[in-house]
Amino acid sequence: MSRFSAPIAEQIWDMKYRLKGRDGKVMDESVEDTWRRIARALAKGDDAPEAREGEFYDALQDFKFLPAGRITAGAGTGRAVTMFNCFVMGTIPDDMGGIFDMLKEAALTMQQGGGIGYDFSTIRPKGADVKGVGADASGPISFMDVWDAMCRTIMSAGSRRGAMMAVMRCDHPDIQDFITAKRDPARLRMFNLSVLVTDDFMQAVKDDGPWDLKFNDTVYHTLKARDLWNQIIQSTYDFAEPGVIFIDRINAMNNLSYCETIAATNPCGEQPLPPYGACLLGSVNLARLVNDPFEENARLDETALDDLVRTAVRMMDNVIDTSRFPLEAQAQEAHAKRRIGLGVTGLADALLMVGLRYGSDQAAQQTEEWMKQIARAAYLASVDLAKEKGAFPLFDADKYLASGTMQMMDDDVRDAIRKYGIRNALLTSIAPTGTISLYAGNVSSGIEPVFAYAYTRKVLQNDGTRTEEEVVDYAVQLWREKFGDKELPDYFVNAQTLAPLDHVKMQAAAQKWVDSSISKTINCPEDISFADFQDVYMQAWDSGCKGCTTYRPNDVTGSVLTVSETSDKTPEADTGADVVYLSEPLDRPKELEGNTYKLKWPESEHAIYITVNDLVVNGHRRPFEVFINSKNMEHFAWTVALTRMISAVFRRGGDVSFVVEELKAVFDPRGGAWMEGKYVPSILAAIGGVIERHMIHTGFIEGEGMGLKSDPHAQVVNLDAPRGQACPKCGQYDLRMVEGCMTCGSCGHSKCG
């Protein structure tokens, strides 16, 4: 009998975690083989490895402990891979050579699939003097364009996608440009953005006081703190970015504040890390630990939880000594502090099973109690490891116990640490668990509420046919098995019905006993007022959260999958409808109005001339055809092909501005060029920019970045079906925001890798 409780779980395992040879030959015949492979690999570093292997296997069995995907896919395979998910890179120097050294390190890390976080606050602002060259600085955002192009290049080489996080301090002179940088839909697509918000700034916001934007103690501009705060929140309200990271709170509560300063996080925000820090993640599946679910005496098995946490800490500590690292500096940082990020998944399902409404005061209190129990068990397990293997190398008992997190720890734990030391400097973190939650039977993700009770998924088979299957939340499925068609109780809530402040309450309750941070998305309704939206962020600050990420569906960000609020109406995730085109090609008159532009690409011997001819329709000019010419014969074939393809699209009619965005997004693996103070990733992107300026000049589009992001002619036949954005991997219309990342409920594909 299969261990998988849902077909999607087995499909995720087969696609992402099952060991196969390079020829596709299956090595893991069953999921039990996968568990055995992981257990055996992680037990090798222990005394009595055979006994440890059995202990580790029991923890993995039935999806009780879920190591992060890198561990599940990589442990015991014999492959030279990193089992760490994400990294914060080194501090970027404020000089050209150092900046590009950092770019190289980022490329090497991303080549192994690691997500990276960077603080760009260390680069001087746009317009600042560059001594010795008689020029003005281009600013940090221009260099972010270079990182963005690098990430595209790594992806084009076939490497696993790794996300990037860019952060900037709230007092950097370029912070206002940073806040709005992604309003151009073709720019910085590989980045998540967050603002590092300080305690002083939040106090100035509350006091409606002034705020200095400065670099190296030089004040460039002063504005009202509340005005800058409103700009941040307005951009998030409109575009779902940037996020907010309360950086002073993170450093104040850091167990290692005596030997490191944190200035950035990994891409999903749950791991604030120092330069070259790495995050090692795993999750305890609370949904598998509830006894007598939905009964009057339903309860979480606390003894089983303690045992599972202790085993998980040992397994994760062993990963540090087993894993490879892209850079030596990352290996040294990991071994010096031995931080791990043990978290949970299935919290919302577990709360439902014990009869609590996610977001209620009782659920928040229960969450805090469970998280404290996990923290205690994790710290005591790490103390036991220190007795056996030694404390982490940078351990200093007096300084460590004086840190923000440790001051509120129970006395028995503090006494044990003082006496024996501790193996791991930090131990807890709540990570995105979108894919591993599907793998574990579609349990609720991390500490998020249940996203949807059920939805229909269409699966593309090898013969090209599609089959339908219902994907049901783990707790809902359990309810159905016990009570059949009996109506769900009132305490069943999901992300579609939950009030935003209830999200904040749950995040704050969990944060109290998490020594790192939490990846959490606060879902807001589209019609939430701006004032209420602002209040979400202020409540996150006031209640002790270390950051805040929201998602409000709108015309810009797109809507996630529409779902039913009751379990008896299951929405479809895809209609499978054919694509139809809504307009006939336009006829060409004998004469057209047009303009010709000269484009000089750096390092190219000959200029390129671009002619755009327009058709006048109802008094308005619209692009009809393009001609691209160059004396450089290396350009001949592709310029002819581009001329024909773009012209064919333009002649179809309708809003064809999406062509501009597609061209501007093209990157050249050999590198782009600086043009008019902006990094352009390829010559094709430069051509797209020329066509865009022509469209602006003729009034076809309103301004830069205002072109469509997709072909408006490709409309599905069934317009009434619930739809969102299509997954770029499987094509299903099943993307939803999960813990800061767009994640596909059908195949598990995530923006964050």
Which residues are marked as active site? 266, 268, 270
- Tell which residue, 632, 560, 625, 542, has the closest CA to residue 588: 625
HSE-CB of 270 using CA atoms within 13 angstroms: 36
Written as six digits, the tokens of 166 are 């860019």
Q: Which residues contact 25 (CB under 8 A, 6 or more apart)?
A: none
Q: What are the φ and ψ backbone dihedral angles of 466, each rounded to 5 degrees?
A: -120, 140
Cα–Cα distance between 557 and 534 in angstroms, integer?
18
> How many CB atoms neighbour CB 648 within 10 A?
11
- Tell which residue, 722, 730, 717, 733, has the closest CA to residue 461: 730
Compute the chain's Rg from CA coordinates: 27
Strand order in the sheet with 620-630: 593-599, 608-617, 620-630
> How many CB atoms neighbour CB 160 within 10 A?
15
Cα–Cα distance between 330 and 318 in angstroms, integer?
16
Quick one: DSSP state of residue 268?
Answer: T
- DSSP annotation string for 142-190: HHHHHHHHHHHHHHHTTPPP--EEEEEETTSTTHHHHHHGGGSTTSSTT
- DSSP annotation string for 357-378: -TTSHHHHHHHHHHHHHHHHHH
Is 744 strand, coil or helix? strand
- Tell which residue, 85, 91, 75, has the closest CA to residue 109: 85
Written as six digits, the tokens of 47 are 């005394």
Cα–Cα distance between 49 and 107 in angstroms, integer?
37
Q: Judge residue 664's burial from the number of C-beta atoms within 10 Å of its C-beta, 0-12 exposed, 13-18 middle, 19 or more buried.
A: buried
Is 528 strand, coil or helix? coil
- Tell which residue, 717, 457, 484, 726, has the closest CA to residue 579: 717
Cα 399 to chain center, whole Å? 33
Bond from prior residue into 140 cis (ω within 30 degrees of 0) = no
- DSSP annotation string for 368-422: HHHHHHHHHHHHHHHHHHHHHH---TT--HHHHHTSTTGGGS-HHHHHHHHHH--
The residue written with tokens 């061209």 in the block is 663
Written as six digits, the tokens of 33 are 């083989």
Cα–Cα distance between 668 and 684 in angstroms, integer?
9
Length of the chain as a residue count: 753
